[in-house]
Structure 1
Amino acid sequence: ISHDLTFSGGSEKISYSVSGSHLDQEGIVGGDKSGFLRNTARVSLNADVSEKLKLKSNVIYTYFNRRTLLENGNASVLLNAVNAPSVIAPYDTNGNHTLFPGGSLGNEMINPLAQIENTYNNYNFKQISGNFGLDYKLFKDFVISSNLGFKSANSESKSFFPVVEYGSGKVFNTPRSTVNQSAVNDNSYSFDLFGTYTKTIADDHKITAMVGNTVYKEYGNGLGATGYDVPNNSWDFADIALTKGAPPVGVNPASSYIYDERRLSYFTRVQYDYKGKYLLSGMYRRDASTKFGPSNKVGYFPSVTAGWLISDEGFFGESKIINFLKLRGSYGIVGNDRIPNNGYISQLSGEATYLFDGALVNGVATGQIPNEKLKWEQAEKIDVGLDVNLLDNKINIVADYFIDTRKDLLVPGIPVSGTLGGAAPGASNPTINAGEVRNEGFEFAINYKNKFSENFSMSLGYNVTLLKNNVTYINGTDFLAGGVFGIGQQAPSRMEVGHSIGYFYGLKTDGIFQNQAEVDAHPSQLAIGANASPGDLRYVDVNGDGEIGFDDRTDIGDPIPEATMGFNVQLNYKGFDFSMYSFASVGNDMVRNYESISDDANRLTYVLDRWTGEGTSNTVPKVSTGGNTNRVFSDYFVEDASYFRIQSAQLGYSINPNFIQKSGISKVRLYAGVNNLYTFTKYKGYDPGASNGAPIGGGIDDGFYPIPRTYLLGLNINF
């Protein structure tokens, strides 16, 4: 359910707006155990206080409550639902949840309905944010502008784990009830102050110069704790203040943190415009960030742009076809410091247990492994573009060729040797400047807009981005590995020179062994876990050493699409309006990692086409409870996740204003629509576009929560 209400008004020198919205969305999995509720309120005021002074203000209040289930991991509800044995009823004869068979460590399955019933997660968030700006015309051609932005947010979360047994010996069993609670306070403010000088010389030369600075600070604190033995094993009593149990020996039940990050920037920009035909702009920034150590805090980032309005040249003449033609180009460097705080220093934020006088004592240890050499990531971009309007500006075309090079790429959580303590309780792996990545591509957009009559108009749009990603340099090593596949297997993703960042690194298959003669004639596969037999996957001896081993792993795909595109259409006929928006991704691969290897697990329908004898299948291996190597990471688990998605479609009708003008209402519109209407894809998972966002380890589907399809029925009233 969604509601929006807006009031706006004003006069020649003052305008205001007050709005509010309410959204209550049920989860598509788990009933009342998942859902999202959000309320927002917004107030804005703009005023010309005098001929020289202008005021701008905007304040927003946001509240939301979120209830969630475990997702995207080997404990997710969806993973358990997909793998639930189809021959086992969800409830036994007594009406209790059925206990699933054991399974090996890390490949256990539990009854997803029991998991939902015993999941209790609640998160509340409150935030107020806004900005206030002043523009003051100090003297002719010179304006001083200032802007103050702020944000203050508070959040509380609670998770309750009742005493429950999902089956004998399962790692998900909880013999003691616990409740985890946390409270977080986040604040930030920014202040911009800059002056702008604008001068026109001889009517043809326009110069705009600006100089200013920005101060930004973000700070906050958090507190988290765990309580043991919740009274009555009930969510109603799930509060740390009510728990009576002591934590296990060596476990610290509470933790806290504070943080403070700051950024100070100075910048200047000069723009030159000659008759509106020749455009030139240059900008220079000096940014300093507390995310980096003393020797690397400051970064310098220049940029320059140029444009030529060809259609205004005398030689171009009057064209009935081309109404506007502009050539433009740009070069610039932008800095990035979006990484966790204090990555360059060692902090006592880890947990440790020490032995003193024969007793275990809780203490602290080094947390995140420091990297003193951390520095700014630089995005260096070259762009050449063309803007064209055709046929009385009915057709608009924008085309760009670009090269975007990310130097000193910042990647958090890169694994290091365990002897350094990266796997210790409370510890974490360091953030590093991993290397250099080059993105080369082409962007093209075309829009058509036409009003055919007083009753009918149409707008069509299409855009496409072609992209080639390539790693050109790795800092201090041959490659960086990341991601997780299966249990106990080597990392499936890599960053390596000559490949796309985060490409999948595994064995390459060449069909299915059809008979023993083919097995005998093929290099041995024993080195990767077991001897092959008819019906097993046949792996390629990539390095040609006469046996199949992990040295035969190679590039078997990557999660980066070769092309993305969008298409939209808007139609208006009399009082009716229709709109549709769609998106497509082509060439992105995804790893299928949500299937259990347990003998009792369910299988997806594609297994019906499995090998059952010579000649029956050359794509899906046999189903077997015996030892085999069919679960070793290979291109068998990498799928083409290209897709075309109709993101939204809406049909509306606006009542003729002549029927409602006497009521004081200016517009009434009824509409119905649907979001996430349909996705066309060959991918077997729930969402071919899902990702955890990791540069090394993205595109691995552990059971992503699907995008909901929502139906809309609404009414817009304007007074």
Structure 2
Amino acid sequence: MKNIWTAFGLIIIFNFSSFSQQITITGNVTDDKDAPLPNVKVVEKGTNNGVLTDFDGNYSITTNNSEELTLSYFFIGFDKQEIVVAGRTKIDVKMSTDSQILEEVVIVGYGSSRSKELTGAAAKVKGENIEKLNLSRMDQALQGQVSGVNISTNSGSPGGSSSIRIRGLSTFGDNDPLILVDGVVYDSEGLNALNPADIESVNVLKDATAGIYGVRAANGVIIIETKKGKIGAKPQIEFTAYRGIQETAKRLDLLTAEEYAVIKNEMFAFGGQEMPFPNTALGVGTNWQDTVFQSAPVESYSLSINGGSGKTRYSLGATYFSQEGIVGGAKANFSRYNARLNLSTELSSKLKLNSVLLFSSDTRSTLAENGIGSVLYNTINAFPNEPIRTLDGNYSYLEEVADIINPIAQMENTFNSTIADKFVGKEELVYDFGEHLSFTNRFSYNHATVDSKSFSPLAWYGTGKYANTAINADLEAPVVEIADSVFIERGASVNESRSTFTDLTFESYFNYDNTFADVHKLKATLGLSVFQRKGSNLNGTAFNIPNNSWEYADISANTAPGGFLNNAGSWEFKERLLSAFLRAEYIFDSRYIISGILRRDGSSKFGPNNRYGMFPTISGAWLISEESFFDVEFIDFMKLRLSYGISGNDQIANFAYRALLNGEGVYVFDDLITVGTALGRAANPDLKWETTRQFNVGADMTFWNHVDFTTNYFIKNTNDLLFQPDVSAVIGSFGAGGYPPIINAGNVSNKGLEIELGYHTSLTSALLANVNFNFSAITNKVTAVPEGVDFLPGAQFSVGGDVATRFEEGYAIGYFHGYQTAGIFQTQEEIDNHPIEQDGAQPGDFIFVDQNDDGVISFGDNDDKTYLGSPIPDFVMGFNFNLRFKGVDMSANIYSAIGQEIIRNYERQQPYANQLDYVINRWVGPGTSNTDPRLTTGATRNNVFSDYYVEDGSFVRLKNVQVGYTFPKKWTRKMKVESLRIYIAGNNLITLNRYLGYDPEIGGGTLSNGVDFGFYPQARSIMGGINIKF
């Protein structure tokens, strides 16, 4: 009995001891403004024991007491805190905001969302990162900033456009995304009206969750927000200016006059002709690139005022920007005047008015920039043994080649000017019914007037060469002797054109946002949208302009003899889009999110059979890090996302389903020929939308409160592509002026992986660092072609050469298709013993691969052609770096595209045309070369399109570097200046690549991408700037 009582006593003592080690800790968690924070995770460090704070930020946690007991406090958007308990039973915590993490607001279309609650693939670029790039166009600033977004320059000339591709090429038509600026629809060309320094943020919607915009969202959505003032803030005046100098980053290694003479003599000798240069000691000769390229200025000046009163906030600014071309100078310049107002006023406690006004006027002068006949095409091929001017002061004519003209004369006689005036307005009323429901009624207006003038003076470029749309005649010959010459009869000509475009948008929608019982959150958007775009054009051409002068270049100055009248023309169009949309989102306990989108669009571009389309999307997310069981100490945030949806595309001509008439019909009545009207484009009442189905799975994570990681894998399939086939692709025939209808045919698939990795930290109170790396890998493949055809042809190689690009099932859009080489025949014996018959082969010629194994190389068809490469990169990368130490800041941006190929198509296949100096290593006898063929004026197959003309286009470009210094406030206060910063910057400083051409970043159309005809390169620039705030 005694032993039983002893044991019972020991148990009581043991239990009392254990109970005495338990501790309950209570407290309250607030933000840095003393507002309570609900759903903060409070965890005993090193265990799974944890709780969440309630709606008022209160918590209570029970655990075993110890000297090492530490509590960790986690909440997205705030710095993690760890506190040693040290026996305390009440601990209140104030958490500091970490603005870098995922609490920032992202615009998602007709609303916004916190980053942590996003279910789709979206990204945000801050305006401060864009402003540092000092670029002329908004779209260029996104290059290398966001994974999955590939931006390539269509022309490096001032004001030149760019191609924006979000998750690959998907259509024959417009592949550009939908662009919205403060809710107003812009086209990519309209971005010229924006000053990049006015941008507050850029939000990019990449996956099917962009389907809230329906038919226009298949290529993604870019949402741009301009700067706004702050309520109650005193006016802040900011002045920014920079000025710099530009130059070409590269000159091609062309033959000198002496090298040219030696090689041309050899070519003519191989062709059995007399050598044209008995004296080859010509020295360097004319370096045409030195005469064409020049240093050119660039400058920008901006003034803005931001502020607000008790119920109003405002931001207004004005900008002047000017850039001359590194080719052509003032003949290829761009300038822009821009003024904007962003105003928000609380009309009452429930009603708010938001207004946006923008006016811009830009002027652009252009040269022939790309393609055969461009200035740089002529520069590359011009003869180095010819002077720029002859002894009598006239330009040299380069007579030996019909389609190569003196590039200096070409620039002097080019007069192209376009003035675009743009006015954008938005009025938006927002009515709050209460804390949870609001109604927005928005009207936006976007009007542009584009005036263009092109003058073609009477100019002499050489016998048989083309100018002013007709062959030159001898200017010194009397007009009466050459009355049949259209060139002389018409003389100098001028074309003037005015186009107007007006967009009207009416949108009304409700937004609902409410939380029930602390854990159920419901958000919904329901609305209607009406969009109308109309445009018109009037143009005319006049001939025989007096004095052959730009000064008199006006269509009213027509003085052409023989009764020539002004050629006049016009067009007009109107399109409409009627839409209804719904988005609903449910969030449970800040952990589980599901969202659905439904949009119905009706487009005037389609007939009654298929006018309306329905576009649904569903998406969801799981915030794993909010689970009580999640206890990975170094992971602060973790979210998985999934989305699937359908979007549409109507980017075709207006009323494309209807038949058109054409004025080329020819009829015979009573033995008289009568010109009338005949059927032009045939009708297709069953024309329907392109549809894009997109699946996305992704994850967002934050490590150690300083490292952000985002990844996405997507599958994007576009079906029923809209395009106009060749006559051979449809059944039936068409008369004079007739052509097939637009049809739905062809499918394209894009699959890809995106990765973004960011690091941000305050190393010390004075040292801040921010680093971002993004990576995209996309595989593009045509999965179906129109019935009845094997492929669709694209761009042509050289003049009258083979079709070099294709749209074909199993390959990327616009892939390169031609002959594959396998070395060079060294001797006649090798040719005689070669198992494959190759017609006309001689020593020094290419050995072509027999692709169809029939023993014969076929040059009249496609049987022995094969895949030679793709203009689409295997992967694209961007690296962005920002560092600030006290008053010194530094930023750098690197952009890279790897794995794409380029067609070297700027070399004229003519005996007298100049060439790059790689031909110095040509074959001149057995064993001298197995890569570069012999040169000859005789017949040869070496000039057919083959892998010899395809190059690796991979590159790494240091896009921007900027170093700045902000003066200490104790200095600036004496000048009554709030802040003063000066900086130096460089753009396109270094490009690492192996491409022989000027610039490996070659844009272009869907089937001409990566084809270089003498591409106008991007300029390298050095600038200095200043920023002052008062």
Q: Name the TM tier (shorter chain).
A: over 0.9
Partner secondary structure for residue 991 of structure 2:
strand
Q: Deviations over 1:588-626 (max 9, x none)?
A: 111111110111000012112211111111111111111
Distance 1:423 1:572 in 2: 68
For residues 59-138 of structure 1, the aligned pairs below 5 Å read: 59-103=357-401, 108-138=403-433
**Per-residue deviation at 1:312?**
0.7
For residues 340-351 of structure 1, the aligned pairs below 5 Å read: 340-348=653-661
- Work out whether residues 767 and 885 of structure 2, in 8 Å CA contact, stay in contact via their aligned partners in 1: yes
TM-score, normalised to structure 1, is 0.94
**Per-residue deviation at 1:663?**
3.5
Partner secondary structure for residue 665 of structure 1:
coil
Partner secondary structure for residue 325 of structure 1:
strand
Q: Does residue 337 of the first structure (1) align with residue 650 of the second (2)?
A: yes
**Per-residue deviation at 1:372?**
4.0
Q: Deviations over 1:397-424 (max 9, x none)?
A: 0011111111122346767579966995
Which one of 146, 152, 168 corresponds to residue 463 of structure 2?
168
Moved more, 1-10 or 292-301: 292-301
Distance 1:179 1:481 in 2: 35
**Per-residue deviation at 1:148?**
1.2
Distance 2:978 2:623 in 1: 41
Instruction: Tell me: CA distance 1:53–1:252, structure 2 relative to 1, closer, same or farther (3 Å).
Output: same
Q: Which residue of 2 aligns with 1:380?
A: 693
| 1:679 partner amino acid | T
Q: Does residue 209 of the first structure (1) align with residue 524 of the second (2)?
A: yes
Partner secondary structure for residue 450 of structure 1:
strand
Distance 1:246 1:124 in 2: 31
Q: Which residue of 1 aligns with 2:785?
A: 474
Partner secondary structure for residue 316 of structure 1:
coil
For residues 502-581 of structure 1, the aligned pairs below 5 Å read: 502-522=814-834, 523-526=836-839, 531-549=840-858, 550=861, 551-581=863-893
- Work out whether residues 616 and 646 of structure 2, in 8 Å CA contact, stay in contact via their aligned partners in 1: yes
Distance 2:844 2:736 in 1: 39
Distance 1:292 1:269 in 2: 26
Q: Deviations over 1:417-468 (max 9, x none)?
A: 79966995xx877644331111111000101111111221111111100111
Partner secondary structure for residue 980 of structure 2:
strand
Moved more, 681-690 or 442-451: 681-690
**Per-residue deviation at 1:343?**
2.2
Distance 1:15 1:432 in 2: 51
Distance 1:26 1:401 in 2: 42
Instruction: Tell me: CA distance 1:600–1:372, structure 2 relative to 1, closer, same or farther (3 Å).
Output: farther
Structure number with larger C-alpha Rg: 2
- Work out whether residues 213 and 265 of structure 1, in 8 Å CA contact, stay in contact via their aligned partners in 2: yes
Distance 1:130 1:22 in 2: 20
Q: Does residue 270 of the first structure (1) align with residue 584 of the second (2)?
A: yes
Which one of 512, 537, 558 corresponds to residue 243 of structure 1?
558
Q: Which residue of 1 aligns with 2:13?
A: none
| 1:466 partner amino acid | A
Distance 1:511 1:141 in 2: 74
- Work out whether residues 679 and 735 of structure 2, in 8 Å CA contact, stay in contact via their aligned partners in 1: no
Q: Deviations over 1:536-586 (max 9, x none)?
A: 111100001111113111111111111001001111111111111111101
For residues 193-592 of structure 1, the aligned pairs below 5 Å read: 193-245=508-560, 253-317=567-631, 319-348=632-661, 368=681, 370-391=683-704, 393-411=705-723, 431-476=742-787, 477-522=789-834, 523-526=836-839, 531-549=840-858, 550=861, 551-592=863-904
- Work out whether residues 649 and 673 of structure 1, in 8 Å CA contact, stay in contact via their aligned partners in 2: yes
Distance 1:239 1:603 in 2: 41
- Work out whether residues 369 and 422 of structure 1, in 8 Å CA contact, stay in contact via their aligned partners in 2: no
Which one of 288, 292, 314 corresponds to residue 16 of structure 1?
314
Distance 1:212 1:683 in 2: 51
Instruction: Tell me: CA distance 1:366–1:12, structure 2 relative to 1, closer, same or farther (3 Å).
Output: farther
Distance 1:639 1:541 in 2: 22
Q: Deviations over 1:104-158 (max 9, x none)?
A: 5xxx211111111111111111010121211112355221112111111111111
- Work out whether residues 802 and 944 of structure 2, in 8 Å CA contact, stay in contact via their aligned partners in 1: no
- Work out whether residues 343 and 368 of structure 1, in 8 Å CA contact, stay in contact via their aligned partners in 2: no
Instruction: Tell me: CA distance 1:365–1:579, structure 2 relative to 1, closer, same or farther (3 Å).
Output: farther
Distance 2:906 2:497 in 1: 30
- Work out whether residues 609 and 685 of structure 2, in 8 Å CA contact, stay in contact via their aligned partners in 1: no
| 1:271 partner amino acid | E
Q: Which residue of 2 aligns with 1:634?
A: 946
Distance 1:260 1:313 in 2: 54
Q: Does residue 53 of the first structure (1) align with residue 345 of the second (2)?
A: no
| 1:670 partner amino acid | I
Q: Which residue of 2 aligns with 1:142?
A: 437
- Work out whether residues 542 and 566 of structure 2, in 8 Å CA contact, stay in contact via their aligned partners in 1: no
| 1:471 partner amino acid | V
| 1:553 partner amino acid | K
Q: Deviations over 1:180-228 (max 9, x none)?
A: 1111011011111111222322111011122111110000200111111
Q: Which residue of 2 aligns with 1:657?
A: 969
Distance 2:1027 2:828 in 1: 70
| 2:957 partner amino acid | R
Higher strand share goes to which structure? 1
Instruction: Tell me: CA distance 1:701–1:422, structure 2 relative to 1, closer, same or farther (3 Å).
Output: farther
Q: Which residue of 1 aligns with 2:261?
A: none
| 1:586 partner amino acid | I
Distance 1:100 1:181 in 2: 31
Instruction: Tell me: CA distance 1:421–1:247, structure 2 relative to 1, closer, same or farther (3 Å).
Output: farther
| 2:697 partner amino acid | V
Which one of 40, 43, 65 corresponds to residue 338 of structure 2?
40
Q: Deviations over 1:21-65 (max 9, x none)?
A: 111100111122110011110001012222211221111101001
- Work out whether residues 608 and 685 of structure 2, in 8 Å CA contact, stay in contact via their aligned partners in 1: no
Which one of 668, 671, 681 corresponds to residue 993 of structure 2?
681
TM-score, normalised to structure 2, is 0.66
Moved more, 397-406 or 11-20: 11-20
Distance 2:644 2:448 in 1: 37
Distance 1:387 1:542 in 2: 47
Percent identity among equivalent residues?
40
For residues 619-630 of structure 1, the aligned pairs below 5 Å read: 619-630=931-942
Instruction: Tell me: CA distance 1:415–1:525, structure 2 relative to 1, closer, same or farther (3 Å).
Output: farther
| 2:592 partner amino acid | Y
- Work out whether residues 72 and 703 of structure 1, in 8 Å CA contact, stay in contact via their aligned partners in 2: yes
**Per-residue deviation at 1:505?**
1.3
Moved more, 355-364 or 568-577: 355-364
Instruction: Tell me: CA distance 1:77–1:361, structure 2 relative to 1, closer, same or farther (3 Å).
Output: farther
Instruction: Tell me: CA distance 1:177–1:382, structure 2 relative to 1, closer, same or farther (3 Å).
Output: same
Partner secondary structure for residue 629 of structure 2:
helix
| 1:185 partner amino acid | T
| 2:494 partner amino acid | V
Q: Which residue of 2 aligns with 1:696?
A: 1007
Distance 2:378 2:561 in 1: 32
Distance 1:429 1:607 in 2: 45
Distance 1:518 1:623 in 2: 19
Higher helix share goes to which structure? 2
- Work out whether residues 415 and 422 of structure 1, in 8 Å CA contact, stay in contact via their aligned partners in 2: no
Q: Where do 5+ consecutive residues of structure 1 fail to align?
A: none
- Work out whether residues 414 and 431 of structure 1, in 8 Å CA contact, stay in contact via their aligned partners in 2: no
**Per-residue deviation at 1:241?**
0.1
Instruction: Tell me: CA distance 1:100–1:420, structure 2 relative to 1, closer, same or farther (3 Å).
Output: farther
- Work out whether residues 157 and 181 of structure 1, in 8 Å CA contact, stay in contact via their aligned partners in 2: yes
Partner secondary structure for residue 1019 of structure 2:
coil
